[in-house]
Structure 1
Amino acid sequence: MFNYSFHWNQAFKALPQMLDGALVTLQIAILSMIIGMALAIALTLFRLSGNRILGGLATGWVEIARNTPALFQIYMAHFGLGSFGIHLSPFTSLLVGIAFNNAGYLAENFRGALKAIPETQTRAARSLGMSPMQAFRYVVMPQMLRIAFLPATNQMVWAILMTSLGVTVGMNTDLAGVTQALNAVSFRTFEFFALAAVIYYVIAKVVTLAARLFAARMFRY
């Protein structure tokens, strides 16, 4: 027989703590996207450079990021680097792992966006006296970012959800970590994790809606 008694009052009393954890979750996700986007642009430039070593490095990064579990990437940042004497905190390990993953996916998004930009754009910029780097920076990259913006929004949502993997490396200040700690004390697993799931859902929907509104306002042409 089903005889579980719900005690939602315990979960709602802990809501301020969970919201504090949600702010840490957002902090990690935003930082990982900023770092990941910078790395993805660098990887894109490596692919365009014509240098076989840089191109191979970029391709290898993308292949590893896209074809191995994000959990493994976080483990390598936390435990793998520790084998070489590089010890990162749970926060830093989680940030490094997610940023690595973001860079791989965003680099592939940028590659797809570049294919949508006619080569005549670069030729026109070069005919005006721009160097290859100037043509990419002032002509190609703005269009690339515009095309890749909404797909990057999906990666932002994925980054928010990936932060929950931090509990596996001892992260206890984000939403998943706080929820885990509260559950360990109260044993009200369903209530706490159901409430955490709602918070994750709301954050993801708010980010998606905000991105669509921003895109509609900024990319009307």
Structure 2
Amino acid sequence: MAYELQFGPVLKFWPDIAQGAVNTLVLSAETIALGVTIGLAAAIARTDGPRWLGALVTVYVEAFRNTPLLVQLFLVFFGLPLIGLSFSADMAALLAIALNLGAYSTEIFRAGLLAIPKTQIEAGLALGMSRLQVIRYIVVVPALRIIYPALTGQLTLTLLGTSIASAISAKELTSAASIVESFTFRSFETYLVVAVIYIGLTFTFRFLYYLVGLWLFRRRKPPKPDLLQEDLDPVGSGA
């Protein structure tokens, strides 16, 4: 007998599925914000920090890049309470996924920072630009332009990776789908609906990254160096 699709029982739980999608959006946004911050700080520490700090960052990056995210999630949720650090399922998911993203984004940011020649930085300082201007216009923006495709790709994978939080019953879309499936016994229909939602979320995030890229990398007027006024006056003027 051919299988007959029945979406009616699944759609009766639409409010729960929608709430799961909202929870996934919130978890993804928080994870991306924390993970990118960790990655940028770690990349700077690894490229320009003291040697001992760079070594610690290297250990962190290699540890998280060479172990499964599920194992990291279990270590945070089940392991840390053994040393007195207990977290809720949602917080454990946030920490584990953010640390995982931080490790991957560290290498992405580091590649961008190393791609900027030091001669360009020295030239900016020699032209009278402030250190803040050098960091903003010569280091951060060009480096971000180089790594932006790789970084946004990693952020998209992070959005999809939040589904693994269902393993510890964190509140997100896949966890909500498991509950709906347990009530309806319509596994194919439930996860087909969820798959469509994930596709929609992914394309929405990619469009947002595209808009952010247009804003970040739009043509800007070059900054004026902070030169002293007397340096701008011709020789002998005012005499």
TM-score by structure 1 length?
Answer: 0.89
Report the Cα distance in structure 1 between the residues aligned to 2:145 and 2:117, rounded to whole angstroms: 14
Moved more, 145-154 or 108-117: 145-154
| Secondary structure in 1 matching 2:3 | coil
The answer to whether 1:202 aligns with 2:177 is no
CA RMSD of aligned residues (A): 2.0
Tell me the CA shift for residue 214 of structure 1: 3.1
| Secondary structure in 1 matching 2:4 | coil
The aligned counterpart of 1:212 is 210
Structure 1's consecutive aligned runs of 4 or more residues displaced over 6 angstroms after TM superposition are: none
Tell me the CA shift for residue 191 of structure 1: 0.7
Q: C-alpha deviations, 1:176-198, integer Å up to 9, x for none?
A: 11101111111111111111011
The aligned counterpart of 2:19 is 20
The aligned counterpart of 1:11 is 10
Tell me the CA shift for residue 152 of structure 1: 1.9
Report the Cα distance in structure 1 between the residues aligned to 2:215 and 2:136, rounded to whole angstroms: 23
Q: C-alpha deviations, 1:79-105, integer Å up to 9, x for none?
A: 121121211101001000110011111
Whichever residue aligns with residue 29 of structure 2, its letter is: I
Q: 5 Å matches for 1:34-53?
A: 34-53=33-52
Structure with the larger helix share: 1
List runs of 5+ in structure 2 lacking aligned partners.
220-239
* Structure ID, larger Rg: 2
The answer to whether 1:63 aligns with 2:41 is no
TM-score by structure 2 length?
Answer: 0.83
The answer to whether 1:190 aligns with 2:188 is yes
| Secondary structure in 1 matching 2:209 | helix
List runs of 5+ in structure 1 lacking aligned partners.
none
Aligned residues: 218
Is residue 10–residue 184 contact of structure 2 (8 Å, CA) maintained in 1? no
